[in-house]
Amino acid sequence: MLTIALSKGRILEQTLPLLKKAGLEIADEELNSRKLILDTNLEDIKVIIIRATDVPVFVQHGAADIGIAGKDVLLEHGANGLFEMLDLGIAKCKLMVAAKSPDYQQTGVLKVATKYVKSAKQYFEKKGQPCEIIKLYGAMELAPVVGLSHCIVDLVDTGNTLKANGLIPLDHIVDISSRLVVNSASFKTKNTVIKAWIKAIEKNL
Ligand code: ATP
Ligand code: PRP
Ligand 1 within 6 A of CB of 64:
no
pLDDT per residue as tens, the chain (205 positions): 999 999 999 999 999 999 999 999 999 999 999 999 999 999 999 999 999 999 999 999 999 999 999 999 999 999 899 999 999 999 999 999 999 999 998 899 999 999 999 999 999 999 999 999 999 999 999 999 999 999 999 999 999 999 999 999 999 999 999 999 999 999 999 999 999 999 999 999 9
Q: pTM score, two decimals?
A: 0.96
pLDDT for the residue 178: 98
Cβ–Cβ < 8 Å for 60, 81? yes
Distance 182 CA to ligand 2 centre (A): 27
Same domain, 53 and 152: no
Per-residue b or e along 65-81, where b marks 16 or more CB atoms closer than 10 Å to that residue's CB: bbbbbbbbbbbbbebeb
52 and 120 in a common domain: no
Task: Give the pLDDT confidence score for residue 79 in this predicted structure.
Answer: 82
As a whole number of angstroms, the distance between CA 93 and CA 116 comes to 14
> Closest ligand to 8 CA?
1
E-assigned strand segments in 28-80: 37-39, 45-50, 66-70
Both 78 and 6 in one domain: the answer is yes
- Residue 91: the pLDDT is 98
Which value, in Å, is the radius of gyration of the alpha carbons in the chain? 19
Q: Are residues 110 and 72 in the same domain?
A: no
Q: Does one domain contain both 72 and 149?
A: no
pLDDT for 46 equals 98
Nearest ligand for residue 157 CA: 2
Same domain, residue pair 84 and 181: yes
| Ligand 1 centroid, distance to 138 Cα (angstroms) | 10
Q: Are residues 97 and 30 in the same domain?
A: no
The ligand 2 atom nearest the CA atom of 155: 2
Q: Which domain holds residue 151?
A: 93-175
Contact between 72 and 9 under an 8 Å Cβ cutoff? The reply is no
- 43 with 82, same domain? yes
Is the CB of 134 inside a 6 Å radius of any atom of ligand 1? no
Q: What end-to-end distance do the CA atoms of the chain give, in Å?
A: 25
Residues 34 and 49 in one domain: yes
Ligand index nearest the alpha carbon of residue 162: 2
Compute the distance from residue 37 Cα to the ligand 2 centre, in Å: 27
Does ligand 1 come within 6 angstroms of the Cβ of 176?
yes
My answer on whether 87 and 147 are in the same domain is: no
Domains held by the chain: number: 2
The finding on whether 75 has its CB within 6 A of some atom of ligand 1 is no
Residue pair 7/68 in contact by the 8 Å Cβ criterion = yes
- List Cα–Cα distances, 93 to 72, 127, 157, 163, 168, in angstroms: 10, 22, 5, 16, 16
147 shares its domain with 123: yes
**Protein residues whose CB sits closer than 6 Å to any atom of ligand 2:** 138, 154-161
* Closest ligand 2 atom number to CA of residue 10: 17
CATH code of the domain in which 167 resides: 3.40.190.10
